[in-house]
A = this chain, B = another copy of it.
Amino acid sequence: MSQKPSIPKGTRDFGPEEMAKRNYIFNVIKSVYALYGFQQIETPAMETLHTLMGKYGEEGDQLLFKVLNSGNYLAKITDDELREKNALHLAPKLCEKGLRYDLTVPFARYVVMHRDEIQLPFKRYQIQPVWRADRPQKGRYREFYQCDADVVGSDSLLNEVELMQIVDTVFTRFGVRVQIKINNRKILSGMAEVMGAADKMVDITVAIDKLDKIGLENVNEELHNDGLSEDSISKLQPILALQGTNDEKLSAISDILKDSETGTKGVEETRFILDTLKKLNLKNEIQFDLTLARGLNYYTGAIFEVKALDTPMGSITGGGRYDNLTGIFGMPGLSGVGISFGADRIYDVLNTLNLYPKETATSTQLLFINFGEKETAYCLPVVAKARQNGIFTEMYPDKAKMKKQMSYANAKHIPYVALAGDNEIQAEKITLKNMGTGEQKLVSADELVAIIKK
């Protein structure tokens, strides 16, 4: 029975070239995480729905992929329940497990379950796929990788400083110039207080977050529609208009928020982070941005976001400080701060700016042409020698036409091809062809290794 195969919508296959590029990205991020003392963990693709449900809001609950119970999954469902035909009510009876929706909730679950094995502060990183039943569209997938690092169990702002250094190091290694924006949830809180609208904090920040896209006038209109008084809105104007260096902005906002304890705390935190970073000579600019908001229900302190300077693309990295991540699992009082690199967007940025190292496109370095049984028998020990010397080497397995073998070498971007016919066998040599220059040379096995290893 033959069938035309397909894959579920919103999912992707990654072929060799895409994998090489993705591995390059993951390896850079991993190596920097390791440099800063973060250790890798992995959690299962499936979590219990107890762990997942109610953690991502109502929309999130609906976007969870749920896994049908094994065996007779209908056994515990009554006829009445079936007759009701209520998809929402039946789902938790049909399914006990769901696919990981992000890396943060499984991490919180991990910390609580392994509290006795973990050394606090715990610096972990995790690079795994997550699944969301979102409507697929350009750049949005139902399966995608997240690359998170978090420190839990430490309130110190040195953790925030380190995460900024990590961002700077990672993008410097990628060769991507970025702008790092930083703000603080406590400053936003203070702003709402000063505006006399502490209860409207979410509305205020949601509106402010759109400043870039819709302009000041529309932001003010939205605030008005949210029920903020003209007085409140007018108090916000000088804050949004703040210009100048980070220090100038800090000094101005410090003055504006001087009567808000929370706001003042946020200013002090931001000042410490920025002052400390000044002495560490980052390659990229860090900008204190009072209009940066991010997912507010989650974060409680510093928040940050990264954008590429040389190509338009949304946020490619973000993160912040949160309190009480593990509280939902019965372990209150743990503060944490985390960062997440957006691998898919970084992939697109590196493609657009053509920043992948040349080696990324190369896998095999040397191909031996197959002229038949006698010739391959002569070549195989040389093939083995090349590999012993760390050269990625192939012997074309079949005695195919020369043209076919050479086009195989071209398709795989193999830079060297080795040939051995009667003449070479008699001379106990190999003809080595440089596929870039076309140059051919009769060499010994040792010379061949030396040329390619050069």
Which residues of A line the B interface, CB within 8 A?
A: 1-8, 11-16, 19-20, 23, 34-37, 39-48, 50-51, 54, 62-63, 65-68, 70-75, 79, 82-83, 85-87, 90-91, 94-97, 99, 109-110, 112-114, 117, 119, 121, 123-124, 129, 131, 133, 142-143, 151, 154-156, 158-159, 161-162, 165, 169, 276, 279-281, 327-330, 363-364, 367, 370, 376-377, 380-381, 384, 387, 390-395, 397-398, 408, 411-412
Are the CB atoms of B65 and A65 closer together than 8 Å?
A: no
List chain B residues, Cβ under 8 A from A391: 35
Chain A interface, DSSP helix/strand/loop, else mixed? mixed
Are the CB atoms of A13 and B82 closer together than 8 Å?
A: no
Are the CB atoms of B13 and A110 closer together than 8 Å?
A: yes
Q: How far is the CA of A95 from the CA of B97 in the complex (A)?
A: 14
Report the minimum CB–CB distance from A423 to chain B (whole Å): 22
User: What are some 23 contacts across the A-B interface (CB < 8 A)?
Assistant: A1-B328, A3-B329, A5-B329, A7-B44, A7-B109, A8-B44, A8-B47, A11-B45, A13-B42, A16-B124, A19-B39, A23-B40, A36-B393, A37-B363, A45-B99, A74-B87, A79-B83, A82-B83, A94-B94, A121-B398, A158-B397, A276-B380, A279-B381
Are the CB atoms of B68 and A94 closer together than 8 Å?
A: yes
In-complex Cβ contact of A158 among B3, B66, B161, B376 (8 A): B376
Report the minimum CB–CB distance from A26 to chain B (whole Å): 11
List chain B residues, Cβ under 8 A from A16: 39-41, 124
Report the minimum CB–CB distance from A192 to chain B (whole Å): 27
List chain B residues, Cβ under 8 A from A97: 8
Question: Which of A48, A83, A370 has most chain B Cβ within 10 Å?
Answer: A48
List chain B residues, Cβ under 8 A from A113: 5-7, 13
Q: How far is the CA of A364 from the CA of B162 in the complex (A)?
A: 15
Are the CB atoms of B123 and A394 closer together than 8 Å?
A: yes
List chain B residues, Cβ under 8 A from A411: 119
Report the minimum CB–CB distance from A221 to chain B (whole Å): 35
| Nearest-CB residue, chain B, relative to A398 | B156
Are the CB atoms of B117 and A280 closer together than 8 Å?
A: no
Report the minimum CB–CB distance from A124 to chain B (whole Å): 7
Q: How far is the CA of A95 from the CA of B1 in the complex (A)?
A: 21
Given contacts A37-B394, A155-B398, A280-B380, 7 further A-B contacts (CB under 8 A): A8-B47, A13-B113, A14-B42, A15-B117, A19-B40, A65-B68, A162-B395
List chain B residues, Cβ under 8 A from A50: 3, 5-6
In-complex Cβ contact of A384 among B99, B117, B154, B280 (8 A): B280
Are the CB atoms of A397 and B154 closer together than 8 Å?
A: yes
Given contacts A35-B390, A276-B380, A381-B280, contact A112 B13 (CB under 8 A): no
Q: How far is the CA of A281 from the CA of B383 in the complex (A)?
A: 13
Q: How far is the CA of A261 from the CA of B154 in the complex (A)?
A: 73
List chain B residues, Cβ under 8 A from A43: 7, 13-14
Are the CB atoms of A393 and B35 closer together than 8 Å?
A: yes
List chain B residues, Cβ under 8 A from A394: 36-37, 123
Closest 9 CB pairs of A and B: A11-B44, A37-B394, A16-B39, A156-B397, A2-B330, A70-B133, A37-B364, A119-B411, A66-B68
Q: How far is the CA of A82 from the CA of B99 in the complex (A)?
A: 26
List chain B residues, Cβ under 8 A from A281: 384
Q: How far is the CA of A136 from the CA of B44 in the complex (A)?
A: 15
Report the minimum CB–CB distance from A73 to chain B (whole Å): 6
List chain B residues, Cβ under 8 A from A377: 276, 279
Given contacts A15-B41, A35-B390, A411-B119, contact A46 B329 (CB under 8 A): no
| Nearest-CB residue, chain B, relative to A38 | B363
Report the minimum CB–CB distance from A280 to chain B (whole Å): 6
Report the minimum CB–CB distance from A363 to chain B (whole Å): 5
List chain B residues, Cβ under 8 A from A82: 82-83, 85
Q: How far is the CA of A91 from the CA of B155 in the complex (A)?
A: 49
Are the CB atoms of B34 and A392 closer together than 8 Å?
A: yes
Q: How far is the CA of A50 from the CA of B45 in the complex (A)?
A: 22
List chain B residues, Cβ under 8 A from A48: 5-8
